[in-house]
DNA sequence: GGCGGAATTTGATCAGGATCATAGCTAGGC
DNA sequence: GCCTAGCTATGATCCTGATCAAATTCCGCC
């Protein structure tokens, strides 16, 4: 399996060794000493999923926690009438399972091909109790996610479609920076429908808004899954809904 | 100061003694042993605020953390054009300052008269490091808030105004249960504007939606600040947007 | 390379909620 | 107990984004 698209790193293979794991520096395992890492590896199983595969369902007992090793994951909640809200996209290095004391509060699915490090909840919990640093790291993560969540509430409740999509693109662009990848080129691993369900819009509005941003010369769309930011500062202004 | 409205407890006085503090069982201090409580008290200052007073502003360095001892607090984010999203209401026992590693990620204001236990960030941090249980408790809290935040994203992105307001009322009703107060009577401590900014609506839509729920016999509004739930199950259905 | 199905874009119309406007209510001050 | 200011409710209109519909592009597959 080799891709033609240029990228900073490639995470197509399931990691089998935490010590050489490329994403470790961004994951919760970054804080672990070598012997702690060994303890972590002992409770780790690896899991690969094809695009669209379910990882777990909302309401299911939370038996496992995960690190995303490669690929994109979406987490979401559903309404009885079928409407879906994607509450987040997870990327390599992200931790999956926070906020789930007993049952998962949301569903999770693979957007692309995905490799996961899977931990048994109970084993992970006892490991957290043994390694102080991991608990701190989790708290840090939870706080970061809380900040992102509040940002997203502002977006969902008070931003225009144009500002919503711009904010989304900027978030992806900034995420690129963590991987030493160019900040002005974004690979969209998710569909327009996913984006719509993340931003509280419809597919059509997302599509029209892309067209608008393209027409205004703020972005280019050389391919449907590739966005090039032409005017970063302009995009930032639009994202903040200046009037 | 004594109110005529019946309530389970009264927290009108600033607590001056954690040991007899009535809200402790719900606050992060619930897990503290007596000597730990003493350490906590040593870094605690009390602060009283009038309705509308600011507690801190978004972006300000996060020098203090708080427990809400009495009253209602709103936390919010603003857009440059002045639009506001209230990301949460805090009630007695809630912790204020999570998600703020360095600068506050949101502003906070008193909705009603408010009493706070104020902790110096640095002192609190070192206390957290000393008392393992507090860190666990904070992580637990952060996880709970994350769950609530996701629930709120679903609400903001995908629910109708009717379902939004119903969900909000149910949340307040369930919060009553924690205080051994009747679940079917809700005291609204915030204005229609606050509710609108919390639900991603306008004042007018909030008002019309109250009228609708009243007209359908699901709730009663004996006073503007008091909601009586007449048909709990019906309200729950509406909140989930069944069609 | 052509075929077929899905994803995306674009177009036309509709409606829900925002906006603008006004009136009613209520609490606090004198 | 009245007056005023702010909050709330209601009415009229508008407009953005949803919905419905169709055309187009893309991609995997043979």
> Residue A16 above 80 pLDDT?
no
Smallest CA–C1' distance to D9, residue: B207
HSE of A199, CA atoms in CB hemisphere, 13 A: 28
H or E element in which residue B227 lies: strand B226-229
Q: Does domain B18-156 have CATH number 3.30.70.920?
A: no
Per-residue model confidence as pLDDT tens digits over A95-154 = 999 887 789 999 999 999 999 999 999 999 999 999 889 999 999 999 999 999 999 999
Per-residue model confidence as pLDDT tens digits over A36-74 = 898 999 999 999 999 999 999 999 999 999 999 999 999
How many angstroms separate the CA of B35 from the C1' of C29? 49
Average pLDDT, integer, range A75-84 = 97
- Fold of the A159-239 domain: Arc Repressor Mutant, subunit A (1.10.10)
Instruction: Search chain A and give the residue with CA nearest B138.
Output: A139
Task: At A169, list the tokens.
Answer: 């693109």
Angle between helices B161-177 and B132-158 (to 10 degrees): 150
Contacts made by residues B238-241, CB under 8 angstroms, sequence distance 24+: B238/B162, B238/B163, B238/B166, B238/B213, B239/B163, B239/B166, B239/B167, B239/B170, B240/A79, B240/A80, B240/B163, B241/A79, B241/A80, B241/A81, B241/A83, B241/B158, B241/B159, B241/B160, B241/B163
| Mean pLDDT, chain B, integer | 91
Question: Which whole-number Å values give the CA distances from A205 to A160, A161, A225, B151, B159, in the listed order?
Answer: 11, 7, 17, 24, 18
Cα–Cα dist A189/B134, whole Å: 39
Does A140 sit within 8 Å of B81, measured CB to CB? no
- Residue B191's SS3 state is coil
How many angstroms separate the CA of B57 from the C1' of C29? 32
Which segments of A102-225 does DSSP mark as H helices, in order? Answer: 121-130, 132-158, 161-177, 192-199, 203-215
**Which residues numbered 178-217 in B keep a CB inside 8 Å of some CB on A?**
197, 199-200
Contact criterion met (CB below 8 Å) for B28 and B138 = yes
**How high is the pLDDT of residue B16?**
65
> Residue B95 above 70 pLDDT?
yes
Per-residue model confidence as pLDDT tens digits over B33-90 = 888 899 999 999 999 999 999 999 999 999 999 999 999 999 999 999 999 999 999 9
Largest Cα–Cα separation, chain A: 55
Please report residues of B whose CB lies closer than 8 A to that of A79: 154, 158-159, 240-241
- Residue B132's SS3 state is helix
Domain boundaries, chain B: 18-156, 159-239
How many angstroms separate the CA of A208 from the C1' of D23? 15
B208-243: string of b/e by CB count within 10 Å (b at 16+)? ebbeebeeeebbeeeeeeebebeeeebbeebbebee
Average pLDDT, integer, range B17-41 = 88
pTM: 0.93
Contact criterion met (CB below 8 Å) for B116 and B46 = yes
Residues 136-175 of B, Cβ under 7 A from nucleic strand D: none
Q: How many CB atoms lie within 10 A of CB B60?
A: 14
Select the residue of A81, A142, A241 nearest B81 (Cβ to Cβ): A241
If you search the block for the tokens 């730990």, which residue do you land on?
B36
| Mean pLDDT, chain A, integer | 91
Instruction: Search chain A and give the residue with CA nearest B142.
Output: A142
Does B150 sit within 8 Å of A99, measured CB to CB? yes
């Amino acid at each position: 399996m080799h891709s033609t698209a240029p990228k900073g790193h490639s995470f197509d293979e399931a990691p089998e060794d935490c010590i050489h794991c490329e994403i470790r520096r961004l994951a919760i395992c970054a804080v672990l000493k070598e012997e702690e890492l060994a303890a972590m590896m002992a409770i780790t199983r690896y899991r690969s999923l094809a695009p669209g595969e379910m990882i777990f369902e909302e309401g299911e007992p939370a038996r496992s926690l995960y690190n995303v090793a490669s690929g994109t994951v979406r987490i979401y909640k559903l309404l009885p009438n079928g409407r879906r809200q994607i509450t987040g996209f997870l990327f390599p290095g992200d931790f999956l399972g926070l906020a789930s004391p007993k049952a998962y509060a949301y569903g999770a699915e693979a957007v692309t091909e995905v490799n996961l490090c899977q931990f048994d909840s109970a084993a992970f919990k006892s490991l957290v109790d043994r390694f102080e640093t991991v608990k701190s790291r989790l708290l840090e993560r939870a706080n970061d996610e809380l900040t992102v969540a509040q940002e997203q509430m502002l977006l969902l409740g008070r931003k225009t479609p144009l500002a919503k999509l711009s904010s989304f693109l900027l978030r992806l662009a900034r995420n690129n920076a963590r991987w030493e990848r160019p900040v002005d080129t974004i690979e969209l691993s998710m569909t327009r429908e996913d984006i719509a369900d993340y931003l509280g819009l419809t597919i059509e509005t997302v599509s029209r808004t892309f067209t608008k941003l393209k027409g205004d010369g703020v972005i280019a769309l050389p391919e449907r899954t590739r966005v090039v930011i032409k005017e970063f500062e302009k995009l930032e202004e639009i994202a903040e809904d200046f009037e």
